[in-house]
Amino acid sequence: MLRRLLQLYVGLCLYGISTGMFVQANLGADPWDVFHLGVGKVFSLDIGTVMILTGALVLLLWIPIRQRPGLGTISNVIVLGLAANATIVVIPTPESLWLQSGMMVIAVILNALATGMYIGAGFGPGPRDGLMTGIHARTGWSIRGIRTTIEVTVLVIGYFLGGSVGIGTLVYALAIGPLIQVCLPWFRTESIARPVLKKEKVLS
């Protein structure tokens, strides 16, 4: 249990750090962070605060689809935003394009590792992932279709609100799925490995 808790919170902190690095690389954000940045620009809020508020609002959408949050879900709402804000304060935007590109690549890889850690800990999905799996469970629609619809929707809304879209957005969209697929098995604990595999088989 202690190992799983440590893995959960290290993973969540690293996820927030990767988000802050992505923002500071200034080459475009992932779809949800395009949305977060756009909302932050409209309401003059930092991205971490918007992440926390958005996570809480997304949890309300779990009610009609009868999803139940776990420790990882609630922790996700709070920790990611705090870690992202702290990273943005500490790490400045690099001056050269090469350094920006390097930071972006590191952020994508770190994001995949962090995702594997916190999901592999088995304390429940984050609000956004839980929304996706909950809709799938209630409707039978494909995970791929639901994920694509949600991310395209938040990306478009975020873009029109002034969020940062760029080459980093494309790199994230193409790379994050394969990277998470590689990283996730590294962090599954033995106690949850079989149920997770069984669930993935059902969702595929």
Which pLDDT tens digit goes with each residue over 35-69? 999 999 999 999 999 999 999 999 999 999 888 89
pLDDT, tens digit, 9 for 90 and up, residues 60-118: 999 998 888 999 999 999 999 999 999 999 999 999 999 999 999 999 999 999 988 98
Asked if pLDDT for residue 201 goes beyond 70, the answer is no
Is residue 6 within a helix (H) or strand (E), and if so which, with residue range?
Answer: helix 2-25
Asked if pLDDT for residue 197 goes beyond 80, the answer is no
Q: For the chain, give the percent of residues with pLDDT over 90.
A: 64
Asked if pLDDT for residue 189 goes beyond 90, the answer is no
Whole-model pTM: value is 0.86
**Which pLDDT score, from 0 to 100, does residue 190 have?**
56
For every residue of 141-183, DSSP letters joined together read: --HHHHHHHHHHHHHHHHHHTT---SHHHHHHHHHHHHHHHHH
Asked if pLDDT for residue 194 goes beyond 80, the answer is no
CA distances from 15 to 23, 82, 200 (A): 12, 11, 22
